[in-house]
Amino acid sequence: MKTIGIVATSLDGYITKHDSEGATFTSEADQKYFREVLKTFDCSVVGATTFEASKDAILKWSYDGRLRVIWTRNPEKYAQYQQESSLEFSSNSLKSILENLQQRDKRHCAILGGTSVYTECLQQGLMDELWLTLEPLVFGSGKKLAEGILDVGLELVSLEHLSKDTILLKYKHPAS
């Protein structure tokens, strides 16, 4: 299974604008790309904070054969939303969540954040690629792509314009 981190950031590396939850700042071009690209994945992993921020949108999705796994310390808190094979909640390690997805014959997993999920995946080498949308914005504060003492080196695979000012950079982990 290929595991791919998908993220949009400001030029100074923020995945949220100041204290707003969710990627409220992304351009129309990125939103369009994001909707389309998600269709190419058969599963995704999302942290609980990101889930809370996008809950309405996530719950509105009708079943489309894609499995979303929400990573949370308290799966029982979300028991009402649990739908086997569609929307699952797990407190297992990201590594074992990903292993489980692979065992269930998933082929393309999108890692959708937020900070803790990206950080763990980068630190533990669980992310084969990172697809980063770079918006031409500077925020000075917000939630960061990653947190802690990391020293991760990636390789640039491709770059393309999503619009005049917004670019999409695809990086891969050297070991992948």
What is the rounded CA–CA span in Å between residue 113 and residue 47?
6
Minimum gap (Å) between residue 116 Cβ and a second copy? 11
Does residue 110 sit in helix, strand or coil? strand
Tokens coding 173: 């982990």
Question: Which among 94, 119, 113 is positioned nearest to 52, based on CA atoms?
Answer: 113
Does residue 22 sit in helix, strand or coil? coil
Q: Which is nearer to a second copy, 13 or 75 (CB)?
A: 13
Q: Which is nearer to a second copy, 64 or 147 (CB)?
A: 147
What is the rounded CA–CA span in Å between residue 47 and residue 23?
14
Q: Which is nearer to a second copy, 57 or 156 (CB)?
A: 156
Minimum gap (Å) between residue 28 Cβ and a second copy? 14
Binding site for a second copy (CB under 8 A): 9-14, 17-18, 119, 122, 130, 132, 134, 136-141, 144-156, 159, 164-167, 169, 171
What is the rounded CA–CA span in Å between residue 7 and residue 110?
10
Minimum gap (Å) between residue 150 Cβ and a second copy? 4
Minimum gap (Å) between residue 56 Cβ and a second copy? 25
What is the rounded CA–CA span in Å between residue 99 and residue 69?
12
Q: Which is nearer to a second copy, 10 or 49 (CB)?
A: 10
What is the rounded CA–CA span in Å between residue 144 and residue 34?
19
Minimum gap (Å) between residue 133 Cβ and a second copy? 12
- Left, alpha or beta for 126 (phi > 0: left; psi -120 to 50: alpha)? alpha
Q: Which is nearer to a second copy, 9 or 66 (CB)?
A: 9
